[in-house]
Every structure is written in C-alpha cells, then in structure tokens.
C-alpha cells in the first residue's frame, strides 16, 4: 500500500539533494578551484625560475637566488637520484617519481601546515636531480577546502533537518484525514449517519460527499428490505396459519378418520413449514444490512428469559423434560423482538435434542460487567470439531433427530453479532451442550 507522506518526502528529497550538490559545485568552482589553479601556476613559475638559475658543477649545486621570482613565497629543495639533499630547504619533504613522470603535484605537512608541492625531475651534468617547490600560501587554499567540506556537510545536515520538518508538517497536515478515518472505523455496521462535511478538509470533501450518498442509499435499501420482510411475514404466516386451523378442524371430523394418519403427516409438514418460514424471516431480520437503522432499547434479559421459558413449559412437560430458569435482572441494549428470537431458538434446540427425562436450564447473570445468557441441556452435546460448522446456515449434525432446517444456531449467531455479542458453544456438566451469549 502506497503512503502519501513517504511519496511526498521522496519527491522532495530528490530535488533538494540535487540543489545541495549544485550549490556545493558552484561554491567549489567559485572559491576553491581558482585558488588551486593559481597555486599550481605559481608553483610552475617558481620551479622554472629555480631551474633557470641553477648552477650545477662537479663540486655541488648552487642557486642564484637573487634572480628568483616570488622569493619568500616558496621553499624549495634539490635532491639527487638517491633523494639526498644537495641544496635548498631540508624541511621540504622528498617526493618520489616513477620513471615516466617528470612533474608531480602533491600535498605535504610542513611546520604543521598542509602545503601544495610541485616536484620536477630534470637531467644535469651530475645526473638526475629532483626539484621540489612548496607554496607557502597554499595553506590558505587548504583552509578553503576544509571550509568547503564543512559547508557541504552542514548543507546536508540542513537537508536532513528540512526533510524531518517536512515530514512532521505532512503528519500534522494529514491529521484531519486520520480523524475522518478513525470516525468511520469506529462506526458499527448499523451506524449510517452522514459524515459532517464541514469538518472534512477541502481535499477529501468529494470523498465525504460520495460516502454520504452511499450511506443514504444503504439506509434506503435497508428500509425497503425491512418493509419487504414485514410484508413477506404477513403474506406467509396468514395462509399457513389458516391451513393449520383447517387441518385441525378436518382431523376432528368423523369422516376423516380413515385418512387420519395422512392428515397427521400433513399437519406435521405444515408445522415444519411454518417453523422454517419463521426461521427464515428471523434470519433475514437479523441480517446487519436489514438492521442498519434498528432501534435499540434497554431490555431486562432475566425477565425476558423467564417469559420465553414459560412459553415452552407445556412442551417440556409433554416431553418429560425438567425446564428450569436461573435468571438475574440484567439489562442490555437491544431489539426486544430479536432477543426473543435468539432465546426462543436456543430453547427450541435444547428441547429438541434433550431426551425424555432430561434437563434444560436457562441462566442469566452478569459477569465482569457483561450480561451472559446460557442454555444448558443433558442431550448428546455438540462434538468440538462440529462447533464451528453448526453456526452455518442449513447445517445439521449427522444423525440428528427430527426434520430441522439447520437454521437455529445460525440465527442465534447472526443476532449476537448484530448487537456485538459473542456466541460460545461448549459442554454442560451433564455432558450435553452449553450455548452461551455474552453481551457487551
């Protein structure tokens, strides 16, 4: 993922570095190069003057210093092929030349000063001689070179500081964008309120406008879906309820006794159809995209659990199942009808899989300032490797009794995630299943 701030720093660093190097080159050619060229020219003139006033005899080497140019500005030394001093100043160091070099510029330390030296080789009656001339004024050029490198170093230090300050400025400038990012990231899937366009920077205002249009479209779509679900529920429940009532009346007629078994099968199928349609509608209502504008309110989870358990007492009594409730008064913010669906599906599953003479317990408590509702049974339980699969829609455990649709725990999981709760599947003390939902 490309970083805007890193891109800006990169494209600023390149021209700033080029400018710093260009400034260093201008400084060098304006201040350093002329002094070096001037020193080299004076060294050549002094060397030529020394060699033109050089007297070489078998007895020794002398220099007519009266005719030398720039006296006092140079020091010189004359050495033979063995680098033995035969004339001049012994403080001027010896410089070796290879067989193909006749002149060589070099730097040397003389009296703690870095001076420029020109060494020339020429043939004389006494053999090869080496004339080394040191420019006493070239120390100023050395100081200028030191100043140049110091200035160059300082320029790059300034460049680094400038880039750091630019980086800090970019980070401060991007703070409104980060606030916008954090505001969107902290929202839940249900929060589709428009973003305040006034607080957005001008550069990202078009993005904010586009997001607000998207949020408005999602709100409209969610409202349409909720209306569709409400209409579908009415259209499905009414004829199914009518069919159930008609079959109950028909089953009680004496003329229907010969086909009573078929009627009972048909009644069971209609009941299963009613149950599946109700579960499908509940699953659709629990979908986050259908509840972006869901209205939440404080709900007493303990009282709700007691009311729902009361609706299942007759079914538990017929199946000889001990249904108990251990509920504390705990309040959560949620949609009461969806919480009703959540608890109803948990109890329906528990009673369906608990054998005759078993036990089902509904408990509500507050742990660590969080509401926890749990349903335990003494049935066969859910194997650990199946506990993720049973959350999927239409998945049923192998060899499951009855004709369920495999939507119960999928509905519970959807509703739990809708309100930021966590669904956990474990084992009860009796070896059955323990399904718990912890609310924030």
* Residue 289, CA distances (Å) to 6, 72, 110, 139 in order: 37, 96, 87, 82
What's residue 147's pLDDT? 65
What string of pLDDT tens digits covers the 440 residues of the chain?
567 777 878 888 888 888 878 877 776 666 666 666 777 777 787 778 777 777 777 667 777 766 676 665 778 888 877 888 887 778 888 887 877 777 888 877 777 777 778 888 877 777 788 888 887 776 555 555 666 677 778 878 888 888 888 888 888 888 888 888 888 888 766 677 888 877 777 778 888 888 889 888 887 877 777 677 667 766 777 787 778 788 888 877 887 788 878 888 888 788 777 777 777 777 666 666 555 556 778 899 999 999 999 999 998 999 999 999 998 889 998 888 888 989 998 998 899 889 999 999 999 998 888 899 999 999 888 888 888 888 887 777 777 766 666 777 888 888 888 888 889 999 888 888 999 999 88
CB 54 within 8 A of CB 63: yes
What's residue 270's pLDDT? 80
> HSE on the CB side for 287, CA within 13 Å?
15
CB 86 within 8 A of CB 78: yes
If you search the block for the tokens 């040397």, which residue do you land on? 108
> HSE on the CB side for 300, CA within 13 Å?
9
pTM over cut 0.85: no
How does 266-287 read in b/e, with b if 16+ C-beta sit within 10 Å?
Answer: ebeebeeebbebbbbbbbbbbe
d(CA 134, CA 128): 20
How much of the chain is in helix, strand and coil states, percent to nearest 5? Answer: 55, 20, 25
What's residue 317's pLDDT? 92
What's residue 90's pLDDT? 82
CB 197 within 8 A of CB 295: no
Per-residue model confidence as pLDDT tens digits over 372-407:
999 999 988 888 888 888 888 777 777 776 666 677
d(CA 266, CA 386): 32
* Beta-strand pair 322-327/359-367: parallel
* Beta bridge partner(s), residue 119: 104, 132
For 66, the 3-state DSSP assignment is helix
> HSE on the CB side for 423, CA within 13 Å?
22
Helical residues (DSSP H) of 89-204, grouped into ranges: 138-173, 175-186
Q: What is the DSSP letter of 288?
A: G
Beta strands in 347-421 (DSSP E): 359-367, 370-377
Please calculate the CA angle 406-408-414 and round it to the nearest 5 degrees. 115
């Amino acid at each position: 993922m490309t970083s805007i701030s890193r891109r800006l720093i990169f494209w600023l660093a390149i021209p700033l570095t080029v400018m710093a190097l260009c400034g260093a080159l201008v400084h060098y050619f304006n201040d350093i190069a002329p002094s070096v060229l001037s020193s080299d020219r004076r060294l050549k003139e002094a060397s030529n003057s020394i060699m033109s006033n050089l007297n070489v005899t078998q007895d020794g080497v002398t220099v007519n210093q009266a005719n030398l140019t720039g006296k006092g500005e140079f020091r010189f030394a004359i050495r033979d092929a063995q680098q033995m001093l035969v004339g001049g100043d012994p403080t001027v160091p010896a410089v070796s030349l290879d067989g193909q070099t006749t002149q060589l510029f070099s730097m040397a330390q003389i009296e703690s000063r870095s001076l420029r030296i020109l060494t020339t080789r020429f043939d004389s009656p006494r053999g090869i001689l080496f004339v080394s001339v040191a420019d006493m004024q070239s120390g100023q050029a050395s100081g200028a070179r030191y100043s140049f490198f110091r200035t160059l170093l300082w320029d790059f230090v300034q460049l680094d500081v400038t880039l750091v300050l630019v980086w800090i400025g970019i980070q401060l400038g991007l703070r409104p964008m980060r606030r916008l990012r954090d505001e969107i990231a902290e929202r839940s899937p249900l929060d589709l309120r428009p973003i305040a366009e006034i607080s957005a920077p001008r550069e990202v205002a078009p993005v904010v406008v586009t997001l607000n249009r998207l949020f408005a479209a999602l709100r409209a779509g969610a409202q349409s879906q909720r209306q569709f679900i409400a209409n579908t529920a009415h259209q499905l429940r009414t004829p199914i309820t009518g069919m159930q009532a008609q079959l109950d009346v028909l089953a009680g007629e004496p003329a229907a006794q010969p086909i009573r078994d078929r009627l009972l099968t048909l009644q069971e199928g209609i009941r299963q159809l009613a149950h599946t349609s109700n579960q499908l509608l509940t699953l659709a209502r629990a979908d986050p995209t259908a509840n972006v504008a869901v209205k939440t309110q404080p709900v007493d989870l303990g009282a709700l659990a007691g009311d729902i358990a009361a609706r299942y007492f007759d079914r538990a009594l017929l199946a000889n199942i001990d249904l108990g409730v251990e509920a504390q008064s705990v309040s959560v913010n949620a949609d009461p009808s969806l919480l009703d669906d959540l608890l109803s599906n948990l109890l329906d599953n528990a009673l369906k899989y608990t054998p005759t003479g078993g036990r089902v317990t509904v408990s509500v408590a507050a742990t660590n300032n969080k509401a926890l509702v749990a349903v335990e049974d003494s049935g066969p339980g859910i194997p650990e490797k199946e506990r993720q699969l049973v959350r999927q829609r239409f998945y049923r455990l192998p060899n499951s009794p009855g004709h369920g649709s495999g939507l119960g725990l999928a509905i519970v999981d959807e509703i739990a995630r809708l309100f930021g709760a966590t669904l956990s599947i474990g084992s009860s003390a009796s070896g059955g299943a323990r399904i718990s939902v912890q609310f924030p």
